Amino acid sequence: MTVTEVKPDTTRKIPEHPKSLLLRMDRMPHIWCSRCGIGITVGCFASAMEKTGLSPDDITVTSGIGCTGRVAGYVKADSFHTTHGRAIPFTVGLALTRPDLKHVVFSGDGDLISIGGNHFIHAARRNQNMLVICVNNFTYAMTGGQLAPTTPVTARATTAPYGSFERPFSLPTLAISAGASYVARWTSLHIRRITDSMTEALQRRGFRFIEIIAPCSTIYARRNKLGTGLDLMKYYYENSVIDHNASVDDLDIGFQSKIVVGKFVDKDRPSYGKSMHEHFRKVLGNKYQPPVSGKMEIDKSWSGCTESQDTTVTDEVQS
Amino acid sequence: MPESNYWRKPFDADKVKSPDGTVYVIKDRCKGCGFCVEFCPRGVLVLSTEFNRKGYHPPEVIHPDRCVNCDLCERICPEFAIYCLNQEEIIELAP
């Protein structure tokens, strides 16, 4: 093997990382472990932002608690690190006040589906205007590897030393049954497909859900003797099956079993705001004054923002 | 990974020139996961024996001429420590 010189030589000024306009490179290296998959999804998100042509001012990123909860600190968009499980309620507020922006919830499975599970299903039911990116690593990694609602049967956790016997959640099934308008699942190896999926989902309205299965090298792989994150990436390479028309029964993930990935749902359903406007226009007619979109200042014309106006609306309805 | 020897030679291989890329590694940011080395389709990289400041082995470019600027290493790197650029991007990003 001939070892040739690296070009260009080290004396030359090294160009900036291409993602440095969208990610806070001054905070790197980040806190995630070696061989963790979360960094890949953040990179794909930055690529998707680039592809849509949206400026970072047009996007908000909200995270909950956990490893993936740290994402909010690494993107250059307006971001917030909420309390445990409350990333979706926070974004519901953002989506109602600023319907002109793109709202992204970037969090983990323990945060979104376990403690925030109720918020998740109700935001999906109402078709709230947000993109939810859930990085699923099958465990509560930051707190030391407890049993998560996504841990596959027979996989070990600190609170299940003899293996789990609970049926785990299948997150796309949950999102589909709750009524999400866009549902996709990829593994962190499908970098181009994640990017395409995020690009597509950023341009839609309504509740969009993307599950990304990511390797947890330090906790999940070590406790289950699966090698390192690199071995899990090889496992994704060999065992992921792309099937866009998969039935919900095929979406369950067993311990080291086949993983069905793909874009499962992409339908147009009126979002929460649109349904509200249509309903009130029908019921109230000309009396209904829709909220002014794209204004941070709360306008007087916005019915429902103050108590007095709220009562007048209800009075009108009653009369 | 060896060079792609399981694809047939395209009919217009003599007319179309494959793009050139230059790989940059930010060595002190790398955590030595080896994703780029494992999944590079052209076998450009190898894990070096030297240590970086944190004690990891960063990747090393051993076949710079093979890089086709496919951006896979850049996208699969969880640490944002490696990226490949073509000549126009280099001029744009490092004036």
Q: Is the peptide bond before A152 cis (omega within 30 degrees of 0)?
A: no
Please give the average per-residue pLDDT across B14-20, as a whole number. 83
Interface subset of B 33-52, CB within 8 angstroms of A: 33-35, 38-39
- Domain count for chain B: 1
> What per-residue confidence (pLDDT) applies to A300?
41
Inter-helix orientation angle A171-178/A117-126, to 10°? 40
Mean pLDDT is highest, among A18-32, A152-166, A279-293, for A152-166
A311 has a pLDDT exceeding 60: no
Choose, out of A5, A14, A25, the residue to mutate when testing the contact with B (most B CBs < 10 Å). Answer: A14
Higher pLDDT, B89 or A60: A60
Residues 6+ apart with CB under 8 A from A159: A146, A147
Q: DSSP of A44-100, one letter per residue?
A: HHHHHHHHHT--GGGEEEEE-SSSGGGGGGTBSSEEEE-STT-HHHHHHHHHHH-TT
Please give the average per-residue pLDDT across A14-23, as a whole number. 84
Nearest residue in chain B measured CA to CA from A44? B75
A309 has a pLDDT exceeding 50: no
* B51 within a domain of the structure (yes/no): yes
Residue B40 has phi, psi (to 5 degrees) of -65, 120
> What per-residue confidence (pLDDT) applies to A315?
33
B60: domain CATH number is: 3.30.70.20
Give me A230's structure tokens. 């690199």
Residue-wise pLDDT tens digits, A98-107: 888 899 999 9
Other Cβ atoms within 10 Å of A145 Cβ, number: 23
A123 has a pLDDT exceeding 90: yes
Q: Which of B35, B65, B79 sits opposite A233 (nearest CB)?
A: B35
Q: Which residues of B touch A216 (CB under 8 A)?
A: none
Interchain contact B24–A (C-beta under 8 A) = yes
Residue A197 DSSP SS3: helix
Interchain contact A44–B (C-beta under 8 A) = yes
Q: Is B94 within 8 Å of A37 when comparing Cβ atoms?
A: no
Q: Which of A19, A30, A191 sits opposite B76 (nearest CB)?
A: A191
Looking at this predicted complex, what is its ipTM? 0.84
Please check whether residue B84 is in contact with residue B73, taking contact to mean a CB–CB distance below 8 angstroms: yes
Residue-wise pLDDT tens digits, B48-81: 999 989 899 999 999 888 888 888 999 999 999 9
Q: Can you give the residue ranges of every domain in chain A?
A: 18-266, 272-318
Please give the average per-residue pLDDT across A217-243, as a whole number. 91
How far apart, in whole angstroms, are the C-alpha atoms of residue A148 and residue A13? 46
> What per-residue confidence (pLDDT) applies to A13?
66
Interchain contact A311–B (C-beta under 8 A) = no
Tell me which CATH homologous superfamily contains domain A18-266: Thiamin diphosphate (ThDP)-binding fold, Pyr/PP domains (3.40.50.970)
Nearest residue in chain B measured CA to CA from A41? B78
How far apart, in whole angstroms, are the C-alpha atoms of residue A303 and residue B7? 64
Give me the domain span that covers residue B49: 22-93
How many pairs of residues across A and B have Cβ atoms under 8 Å apart? Answer: 94
Identify the band that residue A299 occupies on the pLDDT scale cut at 50, 70 and 90: very low
Identify the band that residue A112 occupies on the pLDDT scale cut at 50, 70 and 90: very high
A108 has a pLDDT exceeding 70: yes
How far apart, in whole angstroms, are the C-alpha atoms of residue A63 and residue A73? 9
